[in-house]
A and B are shown apart, each in its own frame.
Chain A
């Protein structure tokens, strides 16, 4: 087990090196990507400023709290996109149509790992950093403080959220095995995960249950931030852990099921 983990880590770092080399190979497009990310960042900041220019509170969040949420969402989505989507799940439909998935299935290394965590994307790193800056600004400007218990709980729930987002990505993207030419399935998965940028208060009644239990985007960003800012209790932790375990398990089963379908139909 430990051996296996260290082997996979070693391969991952090797791939990270390869990816870095490939991204800098085309330096101009690498710089362009970074500029795009920064532009994106500025637009979202302006967005917050505009929304709060007229009202002091939106679904119970002050401007600075909203900034913390925003920053956290930037960090979250960049991690998910950079690690699992951009060079990975997004290319799954293409790999299936071109038959490159066959090359993956031949290798003595887990196929799910190869399609979902193979090649990290580094150009999103700057916007991850800017997310952290936004979080710091939010805390500095507001009076919100947290203790160590809240902080640790926050970290753990945040990690659970990452695992859930990853699992949803696997499940939704794997549907492509049944719908040939459904190239946009990974994009759909991303759109679902992007819902996590909203404060949980925007989901009333039925929607709250849907996005807490079935498509648990609330656990990804909103819940950990609410715990960190004292809006919710740290007792949400066991719930988040159980949900992450369930989704991880489901996504694994679903991936293997989808592969089984691929190998017996293979079209």
Chain B
């Protein structure tokens, strides 16, 4: 059964054109020209219980807009959307108590108070029973290892510590669905890793359904079996992460360690040279021709080691995006 179902979602922002200069702004007072920004333009997907889905795309692709529609902040321009059986933008309290939206750039905690005060307030707002609150809080606090800083004013916390607290505040009512919009933004590598571990553990432990957006491919690679890629408001791909490579990468990488000298020009005859740092070199070749070229290499040159590899997922995705850009 799908918890989230999105069918042909469109969201256009209506913005008015600003003409330069004073006369322009006076003119636009009386005669405004409007145009539509097609932030999301016909996106459909279904997400089932307990899934952890990566939602990726370049800047301005429409990720945040989609998450805002799913959490009821925006009315869609058109489309059928159902989340937990509710129509999100009706903003029914019964619906709102079952999900959380965490935006990496926005904080809900009271800046001048210890985070625990914000948790208590959320407990009241979400009507969490006392014992459930205590249990959830304890679990989250120990998962995120923040026992010592619960009573420290939020403004005195580091960005990473604050993000952990934001997560607790968002999870204190045990939401069934979690929308995470760039939760690791601005964090250092170590903290990013900790966040990822937490998200994974939370998903496993509570069978929470999670949609995650991120510009860090490591987040997606480590966390999400399934990814949805959108660009310019349109869906490009929806499937398993490893399928992206199969579907979009028309080439493979052959990396070899040579025991004798080989010129760059010789390699270039076989494929595109990606790396030339003897004794190691990497060339990119057409997927179908990879076995023959590898055989040819082994036959003609003295080789210590040879591997045929899939290209990096980052590279594939970058190619997908830039390819679309040109089209």
- The reply to whether A264 and B112 form a contact with Cβ atoms under 8 Å apart is no
- The reply to whether B93 and A109 form a contact with Cβ atoms under 8 Å apart is yes
Query: 22 A-B residue contacts at CB 8 Å?
Result: A10-B124, A11-B124, A11-B125, A14-B121, A18-B113, A18-B121, A22-B113, A25-B113, A100-B106, A102-B68, A102-B106, A103-B108, A105-B72, A106-B101, A108-B93, A108-B97, A108-B126, A264-B75, A265-B13, A265-B14, A266-B74, A267-B13
- The reply to whether B71 and A106 form a contact with Cβ atoms under 8 Å apart is yes
Q: With an 8 A cutoff between CB atoms, is B5 at the interface?
A: no
Q: A residues within 8 A CB of B93?
A: 108-109
- What is the CB-to-nearest-CB distance from A26 to chain B, in angstroms, rounded to a whole number? 8
Known: A18-B113, A100-B106, A264-B75. A109 touches B68 (CB 8 A): no
Q: A residues within 8 A CB of B101?
A: 106
Please report the C-alpha to C-alpha distance between residue A118 and residue B212 in the assembled complex, in whole angstroms: 31
Closest-by-CB residue of B relative to A18 is B117
Please report the C-alpha to C-alpha distance between residue A99 and residue B73 in the assembled complex, in whole angstroms: 11
- What is the CB-to-nearest-CB distance from A39 to chain B, in angstroms, rounded to a whole number? 27
Closest-by-CB residue of B relative to A13 is B124
Point out the residue from B72, B97, B106 that lies within 8 Å of A99, measured CB to CB.
Answer: B106
- What is the CB-to-nearest-CB distance from A113 to chain B, in angstroms, rounded to a whole number? 11
Q: With an 8 A cutoff between CB atoms, is A21 at the interface?
A: yes
Point out the residue from A108, A263, A266 that lies within 8 Å of B96, measured CB to CB.
Answer: A108
Please report the C-alpha to C-alpha distance between residue A15 and residue B110 in the assembled complex, in whole angstroms: 11
Closest-by-CB residue of B relative to A263 is B75
- What is the CB-to-nearest-CB distance from B175 to chain A, in angstroms, rounded to a whole number? 11
Q: Mark B111-134, 1 if CB is under 8 A from A, else 0.
A: 011000100110011110000000
Q: With an 8 A cutoff between CB atoms, is A145 at the interface?
A: no
Closest-by-CB residue of A relative to B98 is A108
Q: B residues within 8 A CB of A11?
A: 121, 124-125
Please report the C-alpha to C-alpha distance between residue A99 and residue B103 in the assembled complex, in whole angstroms: 11
- The reply to whether B121 and A15 form a contact with Cβ atoms under 8 Å apart is yes
Q: Mark A2-29, 1 if CB is under 8 A from B, else 0.
A: 0000010011001100100110010000
Interface residues of A in 120-175 (CB under 8 A from B): none
- The reply to whether B117 and A7 form a contact with Cβ atoms under 8 Å apart is no
Q: A residues within 8 A CB of B110?
A: 18, 22
Q: With an 8 A cutoff between CB atoms, is B89 at the interface?
A: yes
